[in-house]
Every structure is written in structure tokens, then in C-alpha cells.
Structure 1
Amino acid sequence: MSQSSAPRATGSVLALTIIGGVVVGAILGQPSAGFLIGTGIGAAISLAFWAFDRRR
């Protein structure tokens, strides 16, 4: 019987990219844009993990 691995929890990745985006955005004077970019990058990484886990 094959063992299926548990899916990865990517909430921490999403949270860290959002925080990182806000910090970088604040340094550049655009915290809202940093938030949106961080959210987009985090969502892309989370979706990539989801797609990879789904194939297994």
C-alpha cells in the first residue's frame, strides 16, 4: 500500500511574503503596493506547493 504524504501548510509562507512585501514597500514609500505584491508572490508559491502536492 502506498503512503500518501501530508499536504504542506503554506500559511506561514503566505504570511512571511506579505510581511516582507509591506516592509520593502514601506522602505520604498509604497506599503500598499508592497502588500499587494507580497500577497501575489505568496499566493503563487502556495499554489505551486498545492499543485505539486496534488500530483503525488
Structure 2
Amino acid sequence: MTKTPSKTPLAGGFLLALSLIIGVFVGIARGEASFGFIIGLGVGLALLIAVWLVDRMRAGR
């Protein structure tokens, strides 16, 4: 019996939201909230793309 791949996609939105929140708080601690937001956005987008690529490879598309 072969195992079929899961059709449930992974969600990376949580990683994006979390990195934005962490980035803002780190930015506030350093006195640069906007810079922290931008860095958090970049890290979050990188994680989001990584999750998307892993999901595509897992699904075999």
C-alpha cells in the first residue's frame, strides 16, 4: 500500500507575523522601530518563501 502525499498545504503566515512583531520590539529596544520593522519583514518574507518552497517540494509540484 503506497502512502499518498498530504494535500494540506503548510502555512507560513504565522512566521511572517511573528518576525514582524519581534522585529518591531527589537527595533524599539534599539531606538529604531521602523528599521526593526523592515528587518522583521525581510526575515519573515524569507521564512515564508522557504516554507512555500518546502511545501511545493513535499507536494511534488
Same fold (TM over 0.5): yes
**SS of 2:43's equivalent?**
helix
> Which residue of the other structure, out of 30, 48, 51, is the alignment partner of 1:49?
51
1: CA distance, partners of 2:14 / 2:5: 25
1:1-55 deviation line (CA, Å, top 9, x unaligned): 6233411111111111001000000000000000000000000001001001101
1: CA distance, partners of 2:49 / 2:5: 23
The runs of 5 or more residues in structure 2 that have no matched partner are: none
2: CA distance, partners of 1:34 / 1:51: 26
- The percentage of counterpart residues that share the same residue type is 46
TM-score (norm 2): 0.83
| Greater Rg over alpha carbons, structure | 2
The runs of 5 or more residues in structure 1 that have no matched partner are: none
